[in-house]
Chains A and B, each alone.
Chain A
Amino acid sequence: MKRFAFGVGGWVLGIVLAGLSAAALTAQQPSEIQLVISGEPGTPPRYAVPDFIALTPDSADMAKTLGRVLWDDLNFEREFYMVPRDTYATIPLARTPEDVPFAAWRELGADAVVFGTVQKTDANTVRVQIRLFNVRSRQSVFAKEYTGSSANPRLYAHTMSDEIHQQQRALRGVARTKLTFSSDRNREKIAGPVDNRDVKEIYIADYDGENQRRVTTNRQLNIMPVWSPDARSIAYTSYRRGYPDIFIALIYQGLQETPTNGVGQNWLPVFSPDGTRICFTSNRDGNPELYVMDRDGSGVRRVTNNPAIDTTPTWSPNGTQIAFTSDRPGQPQIYIVGADGLNLRRITTMDSYADRPTWAPAPFNEIAYAARTGPGFDIKVFDLASGTTRQITFGEGSNESPAFSPNGRHLVFTSTRANDRVQVFTMGRDGRNVKQITRDANNYTPGWSN
């Protein structure tokens, strides 16, 4: 266990403006304390997150939202045991940090308790303050203030969760990350010569499924979106010109790029981890092969050269290798090749059909993919160091299109388990804690942002 010499006492000030956080640390009243809150030996620390205190009457709803969302966010990484919120009823409400009833929290078994406040400073802005207390020592180990827009109070909870995970666990949380997927939820039909074809548009959502918003509005077939590493652009496959081609939506600018310059048909783009290149499938030389181009479409290099199908690329975390799907053995299987096209090797050998490889970020040296396991598919994970494979879904619906969270601890995927339709779910990398993200109509081929 690390020990930190760290000052506490005054509020550590942070500023959140327009959804972007910039934290500034100032230390006052130096004192030697244990910064990391631990649980009983051999058990994770037990966290309690009650409602925040509304310092102005018009922030009462936000106060409830902040407590609830922060509890969910802290629960997501499974680093803490989260004391259920419905057991807090007997604990007296603290109005100030000095009033926190530590004895009552200790009685409930909490090792850590959050005290937070929220107040509206004018019509559109709020100030949110949080302290995380060690219940045993009664010391504040984390204290911050955020001010900014009142439009999305959940973002403050997400930011606090990520910062608490970083401080307490040296863990990169995902509470501020976003998902993207394709959906036919508008129930529109594509205009044209063939009737009854569903429009699919690209959507984004917070990592927990909240704030689902449409990105494309062309009323065509738009599928297989992926985030750029800076989480500001989404590359996807669109049929708006009557054939598949790659489009990039700069979602915060409302701009669109078409990097392939009308050469061939192109689909399934994926950004390199540094964001400078895009690997994709194209039929420009006669059959589906992999190519790499610079982000602006220049410098196209061919990666594969085989009469078989080569498709569905994913980059290794350092950008030197590409895993992909090829049917050169007769059925689709997962291969790895250098980004220069050299050193090809096959990694799946026990599956009759394998597709959609997705390479985990460091430190996890593994590739998830969809494998045919019966009438449908299940998600499996290939460990590159040991060469072993583990299965993490087990025939509950058909499970497809896995993509890793940026910290590698979770996957987003689609499943038919909820109903007759295809929905987006998240789960831990061990297959546990499955959470349904979408419910409306069908939702396909998800991606997860940094």
Chain B
Amino acid sequence: MVQLNMNRVAMALLIALAVVVVACGKKAPVTQPTAPPAATAPPARPATPPPPPQRVEESLPVPEQPLREDTIGNKSLDDVNRASPFTPSFFALDSAELDNAGRAIVAANAEIMKKYPTWVVTVEGHCDERGTAEYNLALGERRAVAVKTYLIALGVAPDRLRAVSYGKEFPFDAGHTDTAWSMNRRAHFVITSR
């Protein structure tokens, strides 16, 4: 379970990085070239002299914070949610407790909410298909409220948050495997206004 969560966090970080790079690519402003913080880049670089293709790579824009905010600011609400800056947090079977990995994700999401103080966010509680449809509405509610409560503890204003349970109505992964179920037991963050 811990292994799974670590992988998930790593994957979430990679996806977030990819989103940032892609988002910045659209703007393509002329800024001071700096190498992107790629994990695989340093060992390869000292061995060979920089050929022309590498120069193209170096001219990619820097993922600066102001640029990123502008990019999000220019998108529609639906597009922002499609490439959401938020990461879902996940739960154990029949549980609404945030574990360490879940708290770390919610804390990162809280930082984003503080960066965009006008955003109003719905925290959706979701369940996997192994519970009943009826009881899962209450379990999803408990998950959403657990995340909302932690966000408030981290300093997010309560009036910017709504907790809504969707039970097992909207699985993220329609499969019937352990992996699918673990992806479906989640709190999903949706920006409803900004």
Give residues in A with beta carbon < 8 Å to B: 192-195, 197-198, 200, 221, 223-224, 237, 239, 242-244, 265, 267-268, 281, 283, 287-288, 309, 311-312, 325, 327, 331-332, 353, 355-356, 370, 375-377, 400-401, 444-445
Contacts and interface: CB of A to CB of B under 8 A. Distances in A.
Given A197-B170, A265-B164, A244 B81 contact: no
Interface residues of B, number: 29
B45 interface: no
Contacts of A325: 134-135
Contacts of B135: 309, 311-312, 325, 327, 332, 355-356
Contacts of A283: 141, 145
29 contacts: A193-B77, A193-B78, A193-B81, A193-B191, A193-B192, A194-B188, A197-B170, A198-B170, A221-B166, A224-B134, A239-B166, A265-B141, A281-B138, A287-B141, A287-B145, A288-B141, A309-B139, A311-B134, A353-B94, A353-B131, A356-B134, A356-B135, A375-B130, A377-B132, A400-B133, A401-B132, A401-B133, A445-B133, A445-B134
Contact of B134 (A194, A198, A239, A268): A268
Given A193-B192, A194-B190, A244-B137, A309 B142 contact: yes
Given A221-B169, A311-B135, 10 more contacts: A193-B77, A193-B78, A193-B82, A194-B188, A242-B122, A242-B192, A267-B137, A287-B145, A288-B142, A370-B132
Contacts of B77: 193
B162 interface: yes
Residue of A195, A244, A281, A444 with most chain B CB atoms under a 10 A cut-off: A244
Residue of B131, B133, B192 with most chain A CB atoms under a 10 A cut-off: B133
B184 interface: no
Contacts of A265: 141, 164-165
Contacts of A195: 82
B166 A356 contact: no
Interface in B63-81: 77-78, 80-81
B133 A192 contact: no
Contacts of B130: 375-376
Residue of B132, B137, B141, B170 with most chain A CB atoms under a 10 A cut-off: B132
Given A194-B188, A287-B145, A223 B82 contact: no
A178 B80 CA distance: 44
Interface string B162-185: 101110011000000000000000
B84 to A, nearest CB: 9
Contacts of A370: 132
Nearest to B188: A194
A355 B142 contact: no
A283 B132 CA distance: 19
Nearest to B137: A267
Nearest to A289: B138
A157 B65 CA distance: 72
A223 B169 contact: yes
B137 A268 contact: yes
Contacts of A244: 137, 164-165
Interface string B132-169: 11110111011001000000000000000010111001
Contacts of B82: 193, 195
Nearest to B82: A195
B39 to A, nearest CB: 30
Nearest to B145: A287
A311 B122 contact: no
Contacts of A400: 132-133
Q: Please give me the 3 A-B residue pairs with the lowest Cβ-Cβ distance, nearest first.
A: A193-B81, A355-B132, A355-B135
Contact of A242 (B78, B81, B137, B164): B164
Residue of B77, B82, B138 with most chain A CB atoms under a 10 A cut-off: B138
Contacts of B188: 194
A331 B135 CA distance: 10
Interface string B14-45: 00000000000000000000000000000000
